[in-house]
């Protein structure tokens, strides 16, 4: 039996001329956004602010995470025009902060690293003042591919832990918690001045003790920023919500995380990795 959504998790539908403009621009430039592909509850709000999180390397993922709404069909061909198209969209939207993510592409020899680097290059050429946040997959832990991304010099390197290690087999069966932590650690050791960021979904059955342990592990690798949000089941085919975490608990987690040394923390039921990232 699916849990009934509490009042604090319900999203007011929005839409308007700005939303239409963003959707048209995305379509005209043959781009994808994680906002649409992951069915983000905040996408209309973000579109009305003229912001979007661009998802490169196609629409189809090679992983089988049970929480994610992104499709898992045959991966798309890498579009050589995509980096310039993303840069053009950022300029046309007047963004000051750009968030770029991707599906996981285990099928590609470079894991998609070179496409990330080309996107950063094109954005820098189009508008050097734009700050760039990359939300990357784990690149199978291959440091030579992570180096390609880091050498492009994004302002923020984001890699989401998603959940506590005790739930990985059920929630992220093709991912490895320690590998994700090692990635964040490697970023800081390779580029000490680069800001790192990670995020978690809550409500999958994790305990408070397990959540706080992840905070501790992230701080041990000097992760700078943290996002915490409520998991929402995209469909009956996805892993169900075990619990709706109350807003007060999110507030408590934020205070604890800040006290542990995170420089920035966004914590709330509807928070997502790139929600108000421009203010983060």
SS3 33: strand
Does residue 48 register a pLDDT over 80?
Answer: no
**Positive or negative, the Cα torsion across 140, 37, 158, 28?**
positive
In the numeric block, the tokens 């990795």 are attached to 273
- 235 part of a folded domain: no
DSSP state of 244: -
Over the stretch 253-268, which tens digit does the pLDDT of each residue have?
Answer: 999 999 999 999 999 9
- 223 part of a folded domain: no
Strand partners, 158: 135, 197
- 59 part of a folded domain: yes
> What's 28's domain CATH number?
3.20.20.70
Name which of 177, 182, 179, 142 is nearest 162 in CA terms. 177
**Residue 29's pLDDT band (cuts 50, 70, 90):** confident
Asked if residues 105 and 111 have their Cβ atoms less than 8 Å apart, the reply is yes
Name which of 209, 196, 210, 203 is nearest 228 in CA terms. 203
Over the stretch 146-204, which tens digit does the pLDDT of each residue have?
Answer: 999 999 999 999 999 999 999 999 988 889 999 999 999 999 999 999 999 999 999 99
Q: Please, what is the end-to-end C-alpha distance for the chain in angstroms? A: 37
Count how many domains the chain has: 1
State residue 275's pLDDT score. 59
- 224 part of a folded domain: no
State residue 44's pLDDT score. 56
Between CA 168 and CA 148 the distance in angstroms is: 27
- 278 part of a folded domain: no
Q: Which residues of 15-47 are buried (b: 16+ CB within 10 A; e: fewer)?
A: eeebbeebbebbeebebbbbbbbbebbbbbbbb
What distances in angstroms separate CA 258 from CA 44, 228, 234, 245, one per listed residue? 29, 13, 30, 19
- 145 part of a folded domain: yes
What distances in angstroms separate CA 174 from CA 111, 112, 116, one per listed residue? 15, 17, 22
Average pLDDT over residues 103-128: 94
Q: What is the pTM of this model?
A: 0.87
State residue 173's pLDDT score. 86
- 159 part of a folded domain: yes
Over the stretch 189-248, which tens digit does the pLDDT of each residue have?
Answer: 999 999 999 999 999 999 999 999 999 999 999 999 999 999 988 778 788 899 999 999
Phi, psi of 146 (to 5 degrees): -60, -40
Between CA 158 and CA 176 the distance in angstroms is: 16
Average pLDDT over residues 36-62: 65
In the numeric block, the tokens 């918690």 are attached to 177
Question: Counting Cβ atoms within 10 Å, is residue 10 exposed (0-12), middle (13-18) or buried (19+)?
Answer: exposed
What range does the domain containing 145 cover? 7-197
- 137 part of a folded domain: yes
Of the given ranges (79-88, 97-106, 148-157), which has the lowest mean pLDDT? 97-106
State residue 129's pLDDT score. 93
């Amino acid at each position: 039996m699916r849990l009934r959504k509490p009042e604090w998790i319900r999203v007011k539908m929005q839409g308007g001329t700005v939303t239409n403009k963003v959707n048209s621009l995305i379509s005209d430039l043959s781009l994808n956004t994680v906002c649409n592909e992951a069915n983000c509850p905040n996408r209309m709000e973000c579109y009305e602010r003229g912001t979007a999180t661009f998802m490169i390397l196609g629409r189809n993922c090679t992983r089988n995470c049970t929480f994610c709404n992104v499709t898992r069909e045959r991966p798309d061909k890498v579009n050589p025009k995509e980096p310039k198209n993303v840069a053009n969209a950022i300029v046309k939207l007047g963004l000051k902060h750009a968030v770029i993510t991707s599906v996981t592409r285990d099928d590609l020899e470079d894991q998609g690293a070179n496409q990330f680097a080309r996107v950063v290059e094109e954005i820098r050429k189009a508008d050097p003042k734009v700050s760039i946040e990359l939300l990357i997959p784990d690149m199978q832990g291959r440091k030579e591919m992570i180096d390609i991304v880091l050498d492009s010099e994004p302002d923020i390197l984001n890699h989401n832990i998603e959940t506590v290690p005790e739930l990985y087999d059920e929630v992220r069966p093709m991912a490895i918690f320690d590998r994700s932590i090692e990635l964040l650690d490697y970023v800081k050791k390779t580029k000490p001045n680069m800001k790192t960021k990670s995020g978690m979904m809550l409500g999958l059955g994790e305990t408070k003790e397990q959540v706080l342990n992840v905070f501790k592990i992230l701080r041990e690798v000097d992760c700078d920023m943290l996002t915490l949000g409520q998991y929402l089941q995209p469909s009956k085919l996805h892993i169900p919500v075990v619990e709706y975490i109350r807003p007060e608990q999110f507030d408590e987690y934020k205070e604890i995380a800040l006290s542990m040394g995170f420089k920035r923390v966004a914590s709330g039921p509807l928070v997502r990795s790139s929600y108000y990232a421009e203010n983060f």
